[in-house]
Amino acid sequence: MKKLKLRVGIGYDLHRLEENRNLIIGGVKIPYEKGLLGHSDADVLVHAIIDALLGAVALPDIGTLFPDTDPKFKDANSIELLKKVYSLVKEKGYSINNIDSNIIAQAPKMMPHIPEMKENLAKTLELDIEDISIKAKTKEHLDAVGEKKAIEANAVVMVYNA
Ligand code: ZN
């Protein structure tokens, strides 16, 4: 019998909030006066999860795989990038056990959108909703995130060889 091998990965991301941008987090378009600035759609949660997955299987990070100097990734749908990364994880012989994550935003409220984010992630990563955790936090009005100038996300994933 093959020996069970578990690996964990950690991911972090931050994007600035700017005018005239859509706010897309966890693949959900959230109504708000500003959106996250980035070369792709700047989906901060999906980017953190991508880096956690890449970290878990020790592949190069998101910026190396999808360089922001490449016009191909301009306004890229991050869920599509996540799909690609998931196939790389599978190629390495790993499956995802679970995901835990934080979205750190002073505004807008993330809570109402979390069920839809979980559905998007579950569908993309072939997981059950119960295997995905997304928590919403604020920065108590401190620092750039607390001043509504940016949104951050953290993610941890566990993968196993199967
Ligand atoms: Zn990002």
Residue 89 Cα to ligand 1 midpoint, Å, equals 19
Residue 97 Cα to ligand 1 midpoint, Å, equals 23
Residue 153 Cα to ligand 1 midpoint, Å, equals 9
Task: List all residues 6 or more positions away from 70 whose beta carbon is below 8 Å from its beta carbon.
Answer: none
Residue 111 Cα to ligand 1 midpoint, Å, equals 21
pLDDT tens digits for range 70-108: 888 888 999 999 999 999 999 999 999 999 999 999 999
Query: Strands (DSSP E) along the chain, which ranges?
Result: 6-18, 24-25, 28-29, 35-36, 94-104, 132-137, 150-161
Alpha helices in the chain (DSSP H): 44-56, 62-65, 78-91, 114-125, 143-146
Instruction: Measure the CA–CA gap between 69 and 73, rounded to whole angstroms.
Output: 8
Residue with tokens 């990965």: 9
pTM above 0.85, yes or no: yes
Residue 1 Cα to ligand 1 midpoint, Å, equals 40
Residue 12 Cα to ligand 1 midpoint, Å, equals 9
pLDDT tens digits for range 15-64: 999 999 999 999 999 999 999 999 999 999 999 999 999 999 999 999 99
Query: What backbone torsions phi and psi does residue 94 show, to the nearest 5 degrees?
Result: -115, 150
Question: Which sequence spans correspond to the domains of the chain?
Answer: 6-161
pLDDT tens digits for range 125-153: 999 999 999 999 999 999 999 999 999 99
Residue 2 Cα to ligand 1 midpoint, Å, equals 36
Q: Does domain 6-161 have CATH number 3.30.1330.60?
A: no
Residue 155 Cα to ligand 1 midpoint, Å, equals 12
Radius of gyration of the chain (CA): 15
* 42 phi-psi bin (left φ>0, alpha ψ -120 to 50, beta other): left
